[in-house]
Structure 1
Amino acid sequence: MAYPAAMPRPPLLVFIACSLDGFIARPDGGLDWLSAADSSGEDFGYDAFMERVDHLLMGRGTFEKVAAFPEWPYRIPVTVLSRTLRDADLPAHLRGRVSLYAGELDDLWPRLSESKGVYVDGGQVIQSCLRAGWIDELTITRLPVLLGQGLPLFGPLAKDVRLRHLHTRSFGKSGAVQSVYGCGPAVPRPDGLSLQ
């Protein structure tokens, strides 16, 4: 469903790392390969990216991974999309910093309309927003490691998603390559593939 043009929607921005073969996590959701692939300590522009957003939207799986980190890494409000988590499931130190949302994404945007930018994180949430044509910008950092299998960054699309290359840079110490793309409207696929 398209977002109604009459309603303001904040820019939805993605900042994510993947393996060279396109995986964002191991099959079990493991992220150990991220630190093994990059021991340089570079921030890859993450701090500058975070200056552009004031809200973070993620799915339950991503939330559960991040909530297990020794420290909560975000200083901005976080909304977790989940139909099964309840407020009582949130760790005590995250109550008031993390809110849960179980509704349709279309109904969420008015609540975020005052945001300067929303950081969209988590494979499934990114894929859902791409399918709906809502992502405005993708920053993808490819790390020089091949996982062979895992959770893919991208999934099936009913329509092609046109991207505009904005810039690419490399990071010498780690060998990572980061590309930033503007996202255009979805267009029909010539092969007729659908999500069904």
Structure 2
Amino acid sequence: MPYNRKVILYISMSLDGYIASLDNSLDFLSSVAQEGEDYGYTNFVSSVDTVIIGRKTYEKVLSMGYEYPHVDKAVYIITRSERESIGSFNFYTGDLGELIADLKSRPGGNIYCDGGAEIANELMRNNLIDEFIISVIPILLGDGVLLFRGGRPEQSLRLINSKSFEKGLIQLHYSKVE
């Protein structure tokens, strides 16, 4: 029985396409911080029961002094080094396409791609992202970690929604065209 689980990339980037500065800083995100505004994140996360994240992004979150926020979900940390699972945190070294196929074959909520750029681009290379929710921050970083890298096939998208916010953030929501 097929399940209707979607892989969704939910990410922020600068207007010129960077998700972090050259030193992997996310400080530019604070330019749109606003009391009481989470840009739909809480609603989005409530639709998710599985998270895919790259090891570097996972370690970046931990290095910022935060506890990883998705302890109530199945988390797959994509890495090249074998490690034992810790509770719902699975260190995955296998084929990303096989992982997605396996997850979609099971009942559950949506699957959140929490970054980073390497994982997002690998998923795009293999046409495995069903929806893109991209928050564009009104800043030009000039250099850094580019979200959309070359070496992937062309992919047509359909706009589901776009929304602008008081601090200048524009959120774009697309689905892939089958």
Normalising to structure 1: TM-score of the pair? 0.80
Task: Encode CA deviations 1:147-180: one digit per residue, 9 max, x unaligned.
Answer: 11000111113421111011101111x2100010
Contact residue 8 and residue 110 of structure 1 kept, 8 A: no
How many angstroms does 1:7 deviate by? 7.0
How many angstroms does 1:86 deviate by? 2.0
- d(CA) in 2 for partners of 1:28, 1:63: 16
Larger radius of gyration: 1
State the superposition RMSD in angstroms. 1.9
Q: Could you tell me which amino acid in structure 1 is paired with residue 81 of structure 2?
A: T
Contact residue 10 and residue 117 of structure 1 kept, 8 A: yes
Contact residue 97 and residue 128 of structure 2 kept, 8 A: no
Task: Encode CA deviations 1:39-73: one digit per residue, 9 max, x unaligned.
Answer: 31310000111122110001111111112232321
Structure 1 residue 47 corresponds to structure 2 residue 38: no
Structure 1 residue 176 corresponds to structure 2 residue 169: yes
Normalising to structure 2: TM-score of the pair? 0.88
Structure 1 residue 11 corresponds to structure 2 residue 6: yes
Q: Could you tell me which amino acid in structure 2 is paired with residue 84 of structure 1?
A: S
How many angstroms does 1:110 deviate by? 4.7
How many angstroms does 1:135 deviate by? 0.6
- d(CA) in 2 for partners of 1:64, 1:110: 26
- List alignment gaps of at least 5 residues for structure 2: none
Q: Could you tell me which amino acid in structure 2 is paired with residue 116 of structure 1?
A: G
2:80 equivalent in structure 1: 83
Sequence identity, in percent?
A: 34
- List alignment gaps of at least 5 residues for structure 1: 1-5, 186-196
2:66 equivalent in structure 1: 70
- d(CA) in 2 for partners of 1:144, 1:109: 33
Mean CA deviation greater in 176-185 or 136-145: 176-185
Q: How many residues align?
A: 172
Q: Could you tell me which amino acid in structure 1 is paired with residue 79 of structure 2?
A: S
